[in-house]
Structure 1
């Protein structure tokens, strides 16, 4: 399992890798994690194993402008690490720098690989002032994914994007959700009383407060009559966002039962990112029985069924967002209908089911020294 990020870094890539590792453990498979070393200050407490899988750190450096995120630097020891472990399949989680090294190493060793497309790195770079590098980044990513025996993408929009960039052998592999951890039963009336002392409708964002999430668009959900904006998460944009949204409640970074309660206690979940390949936070809100509002773009086209499990707004448009959020603030019956349908829509999306589907992809590529094509109806061309 070669991942561009891992614990203690918490993000969508880390979350899905952890769930896969748990499923591999529970189904009797052996795994090794290779990921960029965390920041020096975090290494003493960072886990060196997870779900029975040892964690091997590669050399890393801090991301300019976002030092909390580490990226892998070239590591000559990677091929030897793979040879020693002798994997049947190499799983590349959101491959970029480290994933590219592993893809080349797996190809040289004759080991099939599964590349999981999960992060729109080109859009990420654009938000950090590297717009001129977008085409170069896509050419690089397409090359990496073409090295893999198969690429898995979490939404149909992501599948189509990869195909348009010349990546073949692409299949859709969605994301699971913990239906016990994210559940309407975790609604916390004491928390709601503190956040909405006058019975306000709670409109919440949950996620990283970083540029690529377009969190500045939350101004569109602020100051609505009879509502209060709640922000759950942390990141480099928090100080500026707090200044722009003085009346919002900032709960900071939350995990475990605190996160479950925070999401289930919302009345409306709103998301701002337009480059999400899936949007796990929105799926967790659906599982928590919360109506979701998100842009009609990227993975949220899959996650939100407009007018049934949530509402779409024009991507990047705070006025359009405000209009859709206001509909839910003013219409309790609509909120309830969408929230009930949202919870029901994820009933079959357990991590066990998603893990079994992944094992099916592993079995498909086992024994292939070179990538091959298939006529399976899981494929889109």
Structure 2
């Protein structure tokens, strides 16, 4: 596995890579992980080779891997049956080239809308077309690209990327569960009993967390969980909100379950894992009518969608759920029911038994013909 980011970083790409690694090892597969440093050189009994990296403005805690000859050497020595490339951009692109030179089958996981994110930062905004050319060139080297949502599959196909297939994401149902609702925590956050609306995620420009300012007119408490470069400015822009910082594990699960409504504010999500985690926690969800959330929220069934370009749309969606507790409970129950089959073990088994197997079969067939 060549991962664009891995532990100790906490983000969607690293978390997905970790769940894949866990299930592969549980099924008895041998695994080698190559990722940017710094970080531990092992994950359980799996060796992690750390490639050279640098840090970007606005994302200084996020190391970006550099092309490194050690990647190809490690692949050649390990002699894998297949190379899994997690969200390839720089180190992943190099990994795909190295795999091709070594004649190794490859599966690339598309997970980050880099072009969409870049548009939120002045120093990257003009790079949109160049980024898409790079994405197309990089993923064209893979035997199969897997995208997590209908919207991301369509975007890749329209962008000229070949051999694109859909592969979703799992959710940890042992961790995220309505039973973790903590009434003492709710009284601490909302002593007057007002409903609690929460956001969980990175505090950065592309997440559009400032949209939560619309909720200041509603009779609710706003809780923001996460950290990032925009935290200080957001605390200034949202003085009534409660900022809880980065939370993980059982602590995070308890916060999710303690919400009355979960809101995701950004429209550049290829999937949006926090929506699934909120649904697994028995919470009604609100998300943008764009990108990955379109697959996760069926408007009026298990949550509500808002129009990102329409001022007040987010506020109206949240208000609807707050004003109609019976509908909110119905949508929360529907969301919980819909995620019950999306365990990480089932999702990774699908990755191995369908996508890995088909790529290995196709590669073997080509070699027999050659």
Using the TM superposition, name which of 165-174 and 67-76 deviates more.
67-76
Quick one: which of 88, 93, 103 aligns to 2:86? 93
- Secondary structure of the equivalent of 1:101? helix
Q: 1:76 to 1:305 in 2, by over 3 A?
A: same
Q: 1:168 to 1:246 in 2, by over 3 A?
A: same
Q: What does the per-residue CA deviation read over 1:41-100, in whole Å, with 9 as the maximum and x for residues that have no partner? A: xxxxx4322242211100000012221111012212221111011111110100000010
Query: How many residues were matched structurally?
Result: 364
* Correspondence for 1:206: 200
Give yes or no for contact 2:196–2:221 (8 Å, CA) kept in 1. Answer: yes
* Correspondence for 1:137: 131
1:246 partnered with 2:239: yes
1:109, distance to aligned residue in structure 2 (A): 0.6
Give yes or no for contact 2:210–2:238 (8 Å, CA) kept in 1. Answer: no
- Secondary structure of the equivalent of 1:61? strand
1:302 partnered with 2:295: yes
Give yes or no for contact 1:120–1:276 (8 Å, CA) kept in 2. Answer: yes
Q: For residues 275 and 292 of structure 2, what CA distance do their matches in structure 1 show?
A: 10
Matched ranges for 1:64-103 at <5 A:
64-103=57-96
Q: What does the per-residue CA deviation read over 1:219-265, in whole Å, with 9 as the maximum and x for residues that have no partner? A: 1223412x110001111111111111111111110001100001110
Q: For residues 84 and 74 of structure 2, what CA distance do their matches in structure 1 show?
A: 14
1:162, distance to aligned residue in structure 2 (A): 0.4
Structure 1, unaligned stretches of length 5 or more?
39-45, 373-381
Normalised by the size of structure 2, how large is the TM-score?
A: 0.96
> How much is the aligned-residue C-alpha RMSD, in angstroms?
1.3
Give yes or no for contact 1:212–1:273 (8 Å, CA) kept in 2. Answer: yes
* Correspondence for 2:172: 178
* Correspondence for 1:15: 15
Higher relative contact order at CA 8 Å, sep ≥6: structure 1 or structure 2? 1
- Secondary structure of the equivalent of 2:35? strand
- Secondary structure of the equivalent of 1:347? coil
Moved over 6 A (4+): none
1:193 partnered with 2:215: no
* Correspondence for 2:350: 357
Normalised by the size of structure 1, how large is the TM-score?
A: 0.93
Structure 2, unaligned stretches of length 5 or more?
none
Q: For residues 34 and 318 of structure 1, what CA distance do their matches in structure 2 show?
A: 44
Q: For residues 194 and 327 of structure 1, what CA distance do their matches in structure 2 show?
A: 25
Give yes or no for contact 1:149–1:370 (8 Å, CA) kept in 2. Answer: no
1:369, distance to aligned residue in structure 2 (A): 4.6
Q: For residues 33 and 196 of structure 1, what CA distance do their matches in structure 2 show?
A: 44
Using the TM superposition, name which of 112-121 and 130-139 deviates more.
130-139
* Correspondence for 1:270: 263
1:289 partnered with 2:256: no
